[in-house]
Amino acid sequence: MTKKFINLEETIGIRDSVAARTESNHLVISNKEKCRQILAKENLTEEDIIDFLVSLHVVLEVSLNSLFRNLSLLGIKKGVDDFEVAKNVDEISFIHKATLFIYNSKFNFDGKLDAATHYHSIIGTLKDFAAPRNKLLHGHSISTIFAEGNQRHSPLRRNINRQYLDEQITKFRHIMEGMRFYLDCLDSSLTESGKGSFKQEHLNDDFLPR
């Protein structure tokens, strides 16, 4: 199992009850690698594109859930068990957590209000990005009907192509870029070094080609 070490002294004032915590990031690492391997192919099959769409979604959802869980755990001041906090945070969808983060957090947008307005759009982008994964894993039809010399593709199959894959990559990058912006502007006791660590760990899109 792949683990990460969270240095609480570096990111925020350390709590008396917890000095360090390990957390598996296997799903993020393995699915990033799967995305790399698929994109390295010269020609992508329908199956390749399906696998990529699912893997890219896993990277985003697990990364954002981990980010918001760690922010909650680092910020909690009450004598509440960490696993109870994590459980309650994990039960909120990653899109709802992102929305609450953007609307309810305290930010310093000094000189950056236009950018903050621009990146507000990631809430809608998150919903659009999640749509194909939800359809694929809920068994929506990927089919073609042949009749009288014609063929008709199901809506999901029509979207399984390289252009749609590239559009999903663009949405992924926009979401990650927006989240990095909001994290940078977050007005909290989180240090600049801590923000850098979180961006590298949870908001990194370097595994995708430019």
CB atoms under 10 Å from CB of 16, counted, come to: 6
Q: Which pLDDT value is given to residue 39?
A: 97
| Residues in CB range of 179: below 8 A, 6 or more apart | 64, 67, 98, 122, 203
Q: What are phi and psi of 88, to 5 degrees?
A: -65, -40
Confidence of residue 19 (pLDDT cuts 50, 70, 90): low
CA-to-CA distance for 71 and 74, rounded, in angstroms?
5
Q: Which pLDDT value is given to residue 46?
A: 96
Ranges of H-type helices in the chain: 8-11, 26-39, 46-75, 82-90, 94-104, 113-119, 122-137, 155-158, 162-185, 192-202
On the question of pLDDT at 29 being above 80, the answer is yes
Average pLDDT of the chain is 88
Mean of pLDDT values over 136-165? 88
Query: Contact 204/168 with Cβ under 8 angstroms?
Result: no
Which run of H or of E encompasses 7?
A: strand 3-7
On the question of pLDDT at 13 being above 50, the answer is no
User: In angstroms, what is the C-alpha Rg of the chain?
Assistant: 19
Residue (of 193, 198, 174) closest to 67 by Cα position: 198
% of the chain beyond a pLDDT of 90: 66
Q: Which pLDDT value is given to residue 65?
A: 96
Mean of pLDDT values over 41-67? 96
| pLDDT tens profile 56-85 | 999 999 999 999 999 988 877 677 788 888
On the question of pLDDT at 48 being above 70, the answer is yes
On the question of pLDDT at 203 being above 80, the answer is yes
| Residues in CB range of 200: below 8 A, 6 or more apart | none
